[in-house]
Amino acid sequence: MKKIIMSAIIAGSLVSCSQNKDGSTDSETKTENNFEVKADRFADIQVLRYKVDDFDKLTLDQKKLVYYLTQAGLAGRDIVYDQNYKHNLEIRQAIDNIVRNYKGEKGGDWDKFMVYAKQMWFANGIHHHYSMDKFTPQFSKEYFQKLMDETGSKLSEASMEAIFNPAVDPKRVNLDPSKGLIPGSANNFYGDGLTDAMVDDYYNKIIDPTDKQPISYGLNSQMILDENGQIKEVPWKVGGMYGPALEQVVFWLEKAVGVAENEPQKKALELLIKYYKSGDLKDWDDYSIAWTEATEGDIDYINGFIEVYGDAKGYRANFESVVQMNDFAASERMKVVSDNAQWFEDNSPIMAEHKKKNVTGVSYKVVDVVGESGDASPATPIGINLPNADWIRAEHGSKSVSLGNIIDAYQAASGGATIDEFGYDDKEKERDKKYSELADNLHTALHEVIGHASGQLNPGIATPNVTLKSYASTLEEARADLVGLYYLMDQKLIDLGLMETLDVGRAAYDNYIRNGMMLQLRRIEPGNNIEESHMRNRQLVAAWAFEKGKDKNVIEKIVKDGKTYFKINDYDALRTLFGDLLREIQRIKSEGDYEAGKNLVENYGVKVDQQLHREVLERYKPLNIAPYSGFINPVLVPVTDKDGNITDIKIEYPADFVEQMLYYDEHYNFLKP
């Protein structure tokens, strides 16, 4: 819930890429030291690589810590496949075996099969990582059976149906209430027979809205009906569901404890291990507090069942891991944001009773990612703010990071094709090319550090996943985006030395409206509405501001030479509108106003202008830009002496996406289908 992903505001500038007809990119795919960023391109995906600078400057114990934490993350890789869909592990096993062992004719159907295989690996399953729609194989069932026969692969009839029958489990996460959020979602969080009403009734009975320190109900369990038809939660823990994988996670975390940089970091790791063994969500809260307060040291990590985007009901979380090292110079430059968190809260346009009187323990760092797994890989966030529990954030603070080398890799793979096509005039295009990179970085920082950390719930109001239900994630991301947008046009950022001109804010506004109203539409199929939470958030903000500003022509829709543009005529007025919407969404969250939240999302964030959608798709075709990007991870290689003791850790940069996926299957396959 507290995660900003690549497409949030920077889709127009960082994901755009000037490409050749074969899909390759020109010189901009390389960083300053000639590190090749681009690795693969298939379907709607571009696979990149990221570099870890200064890894060799770490001490041996720090390198070991990074290595152990990375191994702990990879050990949980299978979990997210099974969480995403009950047949994923069996399907992946068959596909991996085919790719590894097939010796027959290549080209034609084989190439189509390989695209499907890569899509499955990239999405951690057979549903698209973003749209949540099931992939449609471009090869026949008969051809797939032939591949299985020739490689000795096996697949159940249910899994074959899942692949080839479009009517079977078409959507991993369904947010259309008319279809039933749980019955309409193919994820493996809920067993057969459960309905939305049953789940709501279950939690309404056990959740006390007056509890000031509520656990994260349902975060780490599968919900099923037992043999008596009673609801039962099956915890994900050592000795329970996903036990074999979590045993390996714990094995590596225990090694990490031995090389922790300091006592607070060690304590947090020990509490994480305790939680994985107990499955007790009170242990998760204890760990989250300890992790939040462990701010010293050069190495940090995210590991656990954390984000609930994959559950339409907003309770259950996917496993994910991110291991990172501090970028000291960049962190020092941006420290001023967290240092002034109270000023931002005090000067927010939200209602006084919804402001925090004391913004506690907000930390912010720019980091270099060293390894990712689970829900964070191959598609990765660019910024993270945790923990998610509102009461922990209020009492103990939060930690925010921008993933600097991930952002650098996106920028190295970017070009000017998108702004040249969709920017209204030369002034807008020039401003974007000059300031969009800084605008993106500042918006990420403000979104994570100030946005998610701001505001408070009214006394007696339950957590947003209970009060706002399936709309909670969309509204939370909109709230954080609006905080960033509001302050990007504030003189305070100039006074703090974060930027030199408000043209940075204007570039951010142009980009956000352009993306929310048009560019992001390239990510969905013609005729569809918007279901993904971040996309709903962006259209909600842009479309609401466009409508509310019509009387004063704040944003003008212009058709020139048959092409549509959205031109901002009054940036100050738009900032006021952003502040108005921020105040309303904070009120909705603070008061738990479900109907108002639902109306905002459904009226502004869901429906698509189909004519405009067709136009956007047509204008994007000649640009040959992949809508989505993700990453191959570096590989950490231990160097040992004759007695097996680690004497160093070397970092290598594989270039083959298929190779890495097969390597992961061989070394981290701990859950058997």
Separation between Cα atoms, residue 374 and residue 76, nearest integer Å? 7
Write out the DSSP string of 386-441.
E---HHHHHHH-EEEEEEHHHHHHHHHT--SHHHHHH-SSHHHHHHHHHHHHHHHH
Burial category of 162 from C-beta neighbours within 10 Å (exposed 0-12, middle 13-18, buried 19 and up)? buried
Separation between Cα atoms, residue 215 and residue 284, nearest integer Å? 8
Q: What is the mean pLDDT of each run of 10 residues along the chain (673 residues)?
A: 42 28 32 80 96 96 98 98 98 98 95 98 97 97 98 98 98 93 98 96 94 97 96 98 98 98 98 98 98 96 97 97 93 90 97 94 91 98 94 94 93 84 96 94 93 94 94 96 98 97 98 97 92 95 98 97 97 98 98 98 97 96 92 98 97 97 97 88
SS3 annotation, 469-484: HHHHHHHHHHHHHHHH
Q: Where are the domains of the chain?
A: 3-58+298-630, 63-170+639-667, 177-235
Write out the DSSP string of 441-453.
HHHHHIIIIIITT
Of the candidates 540, 537, 541, 571, which has an alpha carbon nearest to the alpha carbon of residue 554?
Answer: 571
Write out the DSSP string of 159-209.
HHHHHH-TTSS-BSS---GGG-TTTT--SSSB-TT--HHHHHHHHHHH--T
pTM of the model: 0.88
Q: Output the six-digit token pair for 398.
A: 């939060």
- The answer for residues whose C-beta is within 8 angstroms of residue 214's C-beta and 6 or more apart is 207, 208, 389, 391, 462, 463
Question: Is-cis flag, bond preceding 235, omega within 30?
Answer: no
C-alpha separations of 154 from 97, 110, 151, 190, 534 in Å: 9, 18, 9, 26, 38
Q: Output the six-digit token pair for 426.
A: 């030369």
pLDDT of residue 33: 62
C-alpha separations of 549 from 356, 544, 569, 583, 612 in Å: 30, 8, 10, 16, 20
Strand 555-560 relative to strand 628-632: parallel, antiparallel, unpaired? unpaired
pLDDT of residue 414: 75
Question: Could you give the 3-state DSSP secondary structure of residue 564?
Answer: strand
* Phi, psi (degrees; rounded to nearest 5) at 638: -70, 140
Write out the DSSP string of 568-598.
ES-HHHHHHHHHHHHHHHHHHHHHT-HHHHH
The secondary element (H helix, E strand) that includes residue 255 is: helix 243-257
Strand 635-640 relative to strand 646-652: parallel, antiparallel, unpaired? antiparallel
**What are the beta bridge partners of residue 241?**
236
Tokens 């069932």 found at = 141
